[in-house]
Amino acid sequence: MKNKKIEILDTTLRDGAQTPGVSFSLSDKLKIVKILDDFGIDYIEGGWPGSNPKDTEFFKEVKKLKLKNSKIVAFGSTRRKNTKPSHDKNLKAILESGVNVGCLFGKTWTLHVHKALQTTLEENLEMIYDSVRFLKQRGLEVIYDAEHFFNGYKDDKKYALECLKAAYSAGADCLVLADTNGGCLPLEIAEIVKEVYEFLRNENMKVKLGIHAHNDSDCAVANTIVAVENGCCHIQGTINGLGERCGNANLCSVIPALVFKLGYEVVPKEKLKMLTDISLEIYEISNFVPNDRQPYVGALAFAHKGGVHASAVLKDTKSYEHIDPKLIGNERKILISELAGKSNLLFARHGMKIDLNEEHLNEIIKTIKQKEHQGYFYENAEGSFVILALKTINKYKPFFQVNGFRVIIQYNPEKKELVTEATLKIKIKDKQEHVVAEGDGPVNALDNALRKALTKYYPHLKDVKLVDFKVRVVNPQAGTAAKVRVNIESMDDKHTWSTVGVSENIIEASWEALVDAIEYKLLKHYKG
């Protein structure tokens, strides 16, 4: 009987930190630890102590956190060849980090033993045994990651299993099979894990079996799931699939699949409602734009465009949704376009607390089609859609009135830099404001001026961040007179939303999208 409780080792702070473009600060790492601990992750791999000053400092500071659910893990390699464990700097650094759990990786593939380590197969087995034994004798729980296990198993099955036996004999608490190159497919992962699981049983090796899958063949999530189905009770991965090359198994997909599809116990079900927010928080800390098409937690994961789809979802959400998005903290979206039918509009009111009659629906559909003919695109611009719909049926009351703006761009030849200044005249609650602000370009300067004027009256706008800015030419055949479509994605502490603007003038298009973004936030805050 396979274990129905699956434990998670999150390696976002170690494997995920190897993502190109990611550089977690010490405060970032500590913040992520708190997020993962609150979520209920069993193990958090904090990094490689001794490899760099930041990781060394992390292990000092993380001790000060009062964690409720998670164990902090220090990562490292087996001892160097021809070196005693007690003299190995890496193993000593794991001990000095003060953790209770160490995760060691060692070579399993004969190719790596001969070419990377340049040692003998027997010496490699001793390196595995000595290293695990060294940490176990000093009271640590040890997770052993068999690097390149699947490649090694296919190349020399007997030796790959000997590596597992060496770690087990030394006292390893968990043996993790790693698809380090990420090239294996689910069928072979399933077959090999099943064979290893049976081998452990036949040898009476009572030890947890784990999986660590990379995503180079886009199968890391599937490979992790089939590994669990064939005997693994310990899985390693990262939030949002972060990791070097193509990344690691995405825990934002693996965890809900195991819980809702297969009935495993992973984290408490009620905690899964945090998953979408956790995904967004990690994207924010990583300084990455969220992947809207990411399964389960993406902004478009439960989005419906076609009128037939929207009509069916309106009658029964199961018709086009594999789970209820609320289970993982996400929400349903009905995208608006020139293909929209009335079902889309009925289901896409985005918190608009008004009654839409037949005349309203017809008028909104007519307006949407006219605007899209001009180059607008409302599929993922819910903020602009809501404002347009309300204005179309005369149900919108503005929060401010713009009476004019001016943008000046001046080049400073001495400093070789451009200085941008925006001047804005605006009426807010019957009061006239005249503000000036600088920025990194005209759009940023206008954004700063608008916020400078409004936050005095609407202080919660301080929480709003512009997280993405896209420009696309609508009719390139018009050359320099072509229209551009600007999409702006904004975020506060709870939600993300998008807005759109179109014009032959990129500043005007940007301004339109920017104003819609602010107005939508105000609308949700005061009328949502």
Q: What is the mean pLDDT of residues 296-316?
A: 74
Please report the pLDDT score of residue 320 as a whole number: 77
**What is residue 457's predicted lDDT score, i.e. its pLDDT?**
94
Query: Residues with Cβ < 8 Å from 250, sequence gap 6 or more?
Result: 215, 220, 221, 237, 238, 239, 240, 241, 294
pLDDT of residue 358: 78
pLDDT of residue 343: 52
Identify the pLDDT of residue 495.
Answer: 81
Report residue 105 as tokens: 């990786």
Phi and psi angles of residue 377, each rounded to the nearest 5 degrees, phi first: -150, 110
- Looking at residue 313, its pLDDT comes to 64
**pLDDT for 341:** 56
Closest CA to 301 of 266, 333, 346, 269: 333
At 354 the pLDDT is 63
Identify whether the C-beta of residue 32 lies closer than 8 Å to the C-beta of residue 24: yes
Nearest Cα residue to 521 out of 338, 362, 383:
383
Return the HEC string of 161-187. Answer: HHHHHHHHHCCCCEEEEEECCCCCCHH
pLDDT at 475: 78
Chain position carrying tokens 């296990």: 149
Percent of the chain with pLDDT over 90: 70
Please provide residue 76's backbone torsions phi and psi, each rounded to the nearest 5 degrees. Answer: -175, 180
Spell out the domain ranges in the chain: 7-267, 303-388, 401-527
Mean pLDDT value across residues 60-65: 96
Tokens of 458: 């609407």
**Closest by alpha carbon to 522, among 460, 466, 465, 467?**
460
Exposure of 93 in the CB half-sphere (CA atoms within 13 A): 23
Q: Hey, what are 369's tokens?
A: 């089609």
For the ranges 46-50, 130-134, 291-295, the one whose mean pLDDT is highest: 130-134
Q: How confident is the model at residue 345 (pLDDT cuts 50, 70, 90)?
A: low
Buried-exposed string 109-143: b where 16+ CB fall within 10 A, e elsewhere: bbebbeeebebeeeebbebbbbbbbbbbeeebbbb
Average pLDDT over residues 273-280: 94
Mean pLDDT check: name the lowest of 57-71, 266-280, 333-347, 416-430: 333-347
What is the per-residue pLDDT for 1? 44
Model-level pTM?
A: 0.75
Please enumerate, as own/partner, the contacts of 30-35 that have beta carbons within 8 Å and a separation of 24 or more.
Answer: 30/58, 30/61, 30/62, 30/65, 31/285, 32/282, 32/285, 33/62, 33/65, 33/67, 33/70, 33/72, 34/65, 35/278, 35/281, 35/282
Residue with tokens 């090694």: 152
What's the rounded mean pLDDT across residues 361-386? 83
At 197, give phi and psi (nearest 5°). Answer: -60, -45
pLDDT at position 527 over 70: no
- Termini Cα distance of the chain: 50
DSSP type of residue 50: T
Residue 340 or 291, more confident: 291
- The more confident residue out of 392 and 163 is 163
The answer to whether the CB of 503 falls within 8 A of the CB of 485 is no
pLDDT of residue 307: 57
The gap from C-alpha 316 to its chain's centroid, in whole angstroms, comes to 29
Q: pLDDT band for 314, please (50, 70, 90 cuts).
A: low
Predicted confidence at residue 340, as pLDDT, reads 53
User: What pLDDT is attached to residue 130?
Assistant: 98
Q: Which two tokens stand for residue 303?
A: 């989005």
Q: pLDDT (tens digit, 9 = 90+) per residue, 242-276?
A: 999 999 999 999 999 999 999 999 999 999 999 99
Among 196-210, 276-290, 397-411, name the most confident range. Answer: 196-210
Cα within 13 Å of Cα(294), Cβ side: 25
What mean pLDDT comes out for the span 315-342? 76
pLDDT of residue 467 exceeding 90, the answer is no
- Classify domain 401-527 by CATH architecture: 2-Layer Sandwich (3.30)
According to DSSP, the β-strands at 417-428 and 401-412 are antiparallel
* CATH class given for the domain over 7-267: alpha beta
CA dihedral of 115, 120, 123, 124, whole degrees rounded to 10: 40
Q: What is the pLDDT of residue 466?
A: 87
| Mean pLDDT across 155-170 | 98
Cα–Cα–Cα angle for 27, 105, 8, rounded to 5 degrees: 60
3-state secondary structure of 332: coil
What are the structure tokens assigned to 379, written together? 């599929």
CA atoms of 229 and 194, how far apart (whole Å):
9
Confidence of residue 332 (pLDDT cuts 50, 70, 90): confident
State pLDDT tens for residues 5-48: 999 999 999 999 999 999 999 999 999 999 999 999 999 999 99
Structure confidence by residue, pLDDT tens digits, 109-123: 999 999 999 999 999
For residue 145, give the nearest of 58, 211, 239, 233 by alpha carbon: 211
Spell out the residues 6+ positions from residue 412 whose beta carbon is closer than 8 angstroms to its own. 418, 419
pLDDT one-digit tens code per residue, 413-463? 888 888 899 999 999 988 999 999 999 899 999 999 999 999 999 998 988
Mean pLDDT of the chain, nearest integer: 90
* Structural contact between residues 384 and 516, judged by C-beta atoms closer than 8 angstroms: yes
